[in-house]
Amino acid sequence: MTLYATMDSPLGELLLVGEVSATATGGTALASLSVPGQRGGVALDDVPGGWRRDPGAFEEIARQVRAYFGGTLTRFDVEYAAGAGTEFQRRVWDALESVPYGTTTSYGRLAERIGVSRAGVRALGTAIGRNPLLVVRPCHRVIGADGSLTGYAGGLERKRLLLDLETEGLAARGPAHGGVGASA
């Protein structure tokens, strides 16, 4: 059964979509986390009638999202709903998980890390753009080779906000926790 809930955040109202799961902490596996106006995201106005609004089902996920925005969580421990994406997209999304909090990597470096040729960097960028789990799966940590902010389905202003939030979180923790502005 598909469940959904909304929550406020510094990015605007988030739409959380999940599936009932006997193995997920809190009983819900996250299928999507969307921001308002997200390119390719699910909008609250478009929620299918068969979905059930159930904020209680997302208590654990929402707790982690609030902790992230509060600067006390650097890595999510959330079960993802199965079935999203192609094999290639899932490989790219898994690689996103390896980019540490407060750091960035380029599309090219991420491609190298997973064995994608230079010719495949555009496909990698497309896969990143189709990530259904903004914030939780950190696609915002991927930037242009020259350090510029490029491509983010939630908008570049939100990408900048997330990167700034993480930089501030690292600065508050001090250099013993990975420094500030490092690259992965």
What are the pLDDT digits (tens) for 99-129?
A: 999 999 999 999 999 999 988 899 999 999 9
With bands split at pLDDT 50, 70 and 90, how would you rate the model's confidence at 32? very high
How far lies 3's CA from each of 20, 23, 27, 178, in Å? 7, 16, 11, 37
Which two tokens mark 67?
């902790």
Mean of per-residue pLDDT scores for the chain: 91
With bands split at pLDDT 50, 70 and 90, how would you rate the model's confidence at 1? confident
Residue 179 has pLDDT above 60, yes or no: no
- Cα 118 to Cα 145: distance, rounded to the nearest angstrom: 12
Q: What is the pLDDT of residue 83?
A: 85
**CB–CB of 167/145 below 8 Å?**
no
Q: What is the mean pLDDT of the segment spanning 157-169?
A: 94
Q: What is the pLDDT of residue 178?
A: 47
* C-alpha triplet 125, 110, 132: angle, nearest 5°: 45
What are the pLDDT digits (tens) for 63-76?
A: 999 999 999 999 99
Can you give the pTM of this predicted structure?
0.89
Residue 156 has pLDDT above 90, yes or no: yes
Select which of 35, 110, 134, 139 is catalytic: 139
Give the residue, 117 or 176, on which the prediction is more confident: 117
User: Is 139 among the catalytic positions?
Assistant: yes
Q: What is the mean pLDDT of the segment spanning 81-103?
A: 94
Q: What is the pLDDT of residue 144?
A: 94
- Cα 38 to Cα 83: distance, rounded to the nearest angstrom: 21
- Cα 141 to Cα 162: distance, rounded to the nearest angstrom: 9
Q: What is the pLDDT of residue 155?
A: 93
Q: What is the pLDDT of residue 44?
A: 82
Which two tokens mark 73?
């969580």
